[in-house]
Amino acid sequence: MQKNAFWLAVLLTGCFWQVLPGNTPQTVAQGVLDHLYATNGNYRFKKPRLTISTENNKVAAFSPWKNAIILDQKAYEICRSFGRDSLSALAYILGHELVHAYQAELKSGRLQTNFLAYNRQYSADTRLEKVADVQGLFNAWLAGYQVLNVMPQVIERIYRDYGLTGKILPGYPTLDARKTTSGEVLAIAQDLCDVFEASSYLLVIGRYSLAGAGYEYIMQYYQGAEVQNNLGIAYVLSAQEFWNPQTDFFIYPIEADWHTKLARAASRGQDQLDPTLEPLRADFLEKAAARFRAVAGMNTGYLPARINLVCALNLMGRPAEALKYAEMNLLKHLGGRKKAKGQTPEMIELALGITYALLPGGVRKGEAEAIFKRLSGSGYPLSALYAQQNLQSLHGASANANVRAELPLPQVFRQQISQMELGRTSGLERVALDAGQELFFAKKNDRSDLATFVFSNRRGNLVSLLRVQTGQQPDAAIVAPGEDLPASAYRNIMPARDGFYLKSPANKAVLKVDAKGRVLELVKYVEHGQ
């Protein structure tokens, strides 16, 4: 695992060749391909093997009958010339070919692809090539590569170095034609990235249905593990809008906004779920479970989906089924050689503790109490707070007993947020998020570090997000390295791949924070009509 962590760190820094100058083209390209494959997370398809070719007549190709990606040595050298963006250039090319490995049409037709010529001699479908570009770009972006910035320059360099600039050859699109196609797919991929980012913010601020619509839109183009898992989370949180006190008084290790949930529960004072709302809740939870099962089936090592499925089954009132699934799929990750690293084992235990607590007759309530007591002293603050809250819920504490004031933001952030003004959003080009064209997404980029995202329906705007990137400034930190956030902060926090999101309801803002506590982005949100 240490070796894997090292390779991942090297890949994400974009300094592979600089750090390890003795590596061969094969090992460098293989590292990028491995990272793209892991990010996609669909392990039902065998990872293609990679070979480096000196023929230098394709740039890259995928052979379905060999399940192999062939990368030209010349293409590798072109990518290498991009310096700090070299891995991103390589990820663009390899990501395109990796998508072909998932395309059933190619496998059934036994057709080999050709990156350089869309349909020269292998009768490749231009539509499949565009799809490969869109999905490959999005997958590489999720993996941390700056592919959206580097793609146009890579196309230019390939045409120049392969001697195709200004030439018209049978089967090869002209550079202008390729630029037009690249522009089209780049625009789609950028929309997918923006919708993904915006949907994450919507989850944090509690607009779960809108977030779900965003993830469902992305699913039309890309069905990777992370998107499906996030869609499942959106369904779970949407279901919890229909409060069921029999199960929802516990805090599940998939939730973000505790404060809102607990305050809402206290204000309702319900002792049972409204029967008229039960079908809506059940439908959301069934959809969530289906997504979590799909991800778990794609990738047995993707533990968040398995933990989330246990939570969903418990929220359905099926703890016995949840326990059986956990015993078969999660317990092995709590010890031995397969033990998960970091905070994940404690998330597993929390889900297991809730399962024990919900079993009929209180037959394993003592085991739930033992788990919550032990994890209350965890070195991971989020685990400790989940455990403390659930321990009190187990003992019958009222739903609002531990609702604390939110974390006050430092003055520098409060001042910056107060100066962020939402400009005119009328007249923006809208993208329909659903087939019925009832929900829409629009955006405008005022400058490179400032963007506005707008979600709307036919009647008008619903939510607007004004996003400012801080550029990882050393002084732009919510918490210094080595310190911990106050307990109250964790009631409005959602984990992320590269850190976490922190919501400030008082300031109508969300901060995106990296693992070192630096604030990467500020988002001011406006909920229209409220």
This prediction has a pTM of 0.84
What average pLDDT does the structure give for the chain? 83
Instruction: Answer whether residue 490 shows pLDDT above 80.
Output: no
Nearest to 273 by CA among 308, 255, 247: 247
CA distance 264 to 268: 6
> Where does residue 321 rank: exposed (0-12), middle (13-18), buried (19+ CB within 10 A)?
middle
Is the pLDDT assigned to residue 29 strictly greater than 50? Answer: yes
User: Token pair for residue 58?
Assistant: 């394709």
**Amino acid 19: pLDDT:** 41
2 has pLDDT over 50 = no
Q: Which residue has the higher pLDDT, 9 or 373?
A: 373
Q: Are 134 and 185 in contact (CB under 8 A)?
A: yes
In this prediction, residues 75-89 reach a mean pLDDT of: 95
The encoded tokens of residue 89 equal 């250039």
Class of 240-394 in CATH? mainly alpha
Phi and psi angles of residue 431, each rounded to the nearest 5 degrees, phi first: -110, 125
Name every residue whose Cβ is closer than 8 Å to that of residue 112 and which is 6 or more positions away in sequence.
61, 62, 63, 64, 122, 124
Q: How far apart are CA 520 and CA 513, in angstroms?
A: 6
Contact 222, 135 (CB under 8 A): yes
Q: pLDDT tens-digit profile of 376-386? A: 988 887 788 88
**Residue 209 or 124, more confident:** 209
Average pLDDT score over residue span 305-318: 96
Return the pLDDT at 482.
53
Q: What is the pLDDT of residue 168?
A: 66
109 pLDDT more than 70: no
Q: Which residue has the higher pLDDT, 71 or 482?
A: 71
Query: What's the pLDDT band for 172 if we cut at 50, 70, 90?
Result: low
For residue 115, the 8-state DSSP code is S
Looking at per-residue pLDDT, the higher value among 183 and 172 belongs to 183
Residue in 136, 16, 30 with CA at minimum distance from that of residue 83? 16
- Best mean pLDDT range from 179-183, 279-283, 312-316: 312-316
Q: What is the DSSP letter of 362?
A: G
Give the tens place of pLDDT for each residue, 416-469: 888 888 888 888 889 999 988 899 999 998 776 789 999 999 999 999 999 987
Does position 3 have pLDDT exceeding 50, yes or no? no
Query: Could you report the per-residue pLDDT of 210-225, keeping only the tens digit for each?
Result: 999 999 999 999 999 9
What is the reported pLDDT for 233? 93
> Which residues, at least 6 apart from 115, have a Cβ–Cβ distance to it below 8 Å?
58, 59, 60, 61, 75, 93, 96, 97
The pLDDT assigned to 293 comes to 96
Among the listed residues 138, 27, 53, the one whose alpha carbon sits nearest the alpha carbon of residue 92: 138
Mean pLDDT computed over 349-377:
96
Query: What ranges do the domains of the chain cover?
Result: 2-173, 240-394, 411-527
